[in-house]
């Protein structure tokens, strides 16, 4: 007797990928990352020291930009509007964008306001900015009102 073989009688091989081992590996990696991620962040409280470096010499004709406590700006001794900062700086520096601008800010001015003024300086093309602090005073002491600019030093 002759027997005819049909292709349906052969067992079929699975052509799909078994993803169960991959899922197991991914879950193990997820657990590892969840455990190690908090360990990689550094949150160390630091009280930064003041600089003991000798201050840079003061230029002959410095351009001081001051951010007052009320967030208004002063170029030299003259109060200016924020919108006219670029034109006032161009006239004060005689168009020299390479001249260093000495930026002073009241200690009550928040960081965001100071950064927005620095962004305006960058937009105006003045990339050389020096921050000014008071030298020779202990923390908490006030400057003498008779000579407030005598100890201003650029950094």
**Is there a contact between 83 and 151 (Cβ–Cβ < 8 Å)?**
no
Closest CA to 103 of 87, 118, 125: 118
Q: Which residue has the higher pLDDT, 4 or 93?
A: 93
What gap in Å lies between CA 106 and CA 114, rounded to an integer?
A: 10
What gap in Å lies between CA 44 and CA 121, rounded to an integer?
A: 33
Contacts of 55 (CB under 8 A, 6+ apart): 135, 153, 154, 155
Q: If you write DSSP's letter for every residue of 104-124 in order, what string do you get?
A: EE-TTS-HHHHHHHHHHHHHH
pTM score: 0.54
What gap in Å lies between CA 147 and CA 143, rounded to an integer?
A: 8
- pLDDT of 31 > 90? The answer is yes
List, edge to edge, every strand of the sheet that includes 73-75. 78-80, 73-75, 63-67, 101-105, 129-134, 152-154
Confidence of residue 59 (pLDDT cuts 50, 70, 90): confident
Mean pLDDT score across all residues of the chain: 77
pLDDT of residue 11: 63
Q: What is the pLDDT of residues 121-146, one digit of tens each?
A: 999 999 888 887 765 544 444 544 43
Confidence of residue 63 (pLDDT cuts 50, 70, 90): confident
Each residue of 69-100: b (16+ CB within 10 Å) or e? eebebebeeeebeeeebeebbeebbeeeeebb
At 30 the three-state DSSP class reads helix
Closest CA to 133 of 62, 57, 50, 38: 50
- pLDDT of 79 > 60? The answer is yes
Confidence of residue 41 (pLDDT cuts 50, 70, 90): low
Task: Map out the domains of the chain with their CATH numbers.
Answer: 63-133 (3.30.420.270)
- Considering 12-16, 97-101, 104-108, 148-152, the range whose residues carry the highest mean pLDDT is 97-101
pLDDT of residue 96: 87
């Amino acid at each position: 007797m002759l027997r005819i073989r049909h292709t349906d009688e052969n067992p079929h091989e699975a052509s799909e990928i078994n993803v169960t081992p991959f899922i197991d590996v991914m879950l193990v990696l997820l657990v590892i990352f969840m455990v190690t991620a908090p360990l990689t962040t550094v949150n160390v409280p630091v009280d930064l020291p003041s600089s003991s470096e000798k201050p840079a010499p003061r230029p002959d004709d410095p351009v001081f930009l001051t951010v007052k406590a009320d967030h208004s700006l002063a170029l030299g001794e003259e109060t200016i509007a924020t919108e006219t900062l670029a034109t006032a700086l161009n006239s004060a520096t005689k168009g020299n964008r390479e001249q260093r601008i000495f930026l002073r800010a009241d200690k009550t001015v928040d960081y965001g306001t100071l950064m927005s003024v620095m962004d305006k300086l960058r937009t105006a093309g003045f990339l050389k900015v020096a921050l000014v602090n008071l030298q020779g005073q202990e923390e908490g002491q006030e400057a003498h009102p008779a000579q407030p600019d005598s100890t201003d030093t650029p950094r």
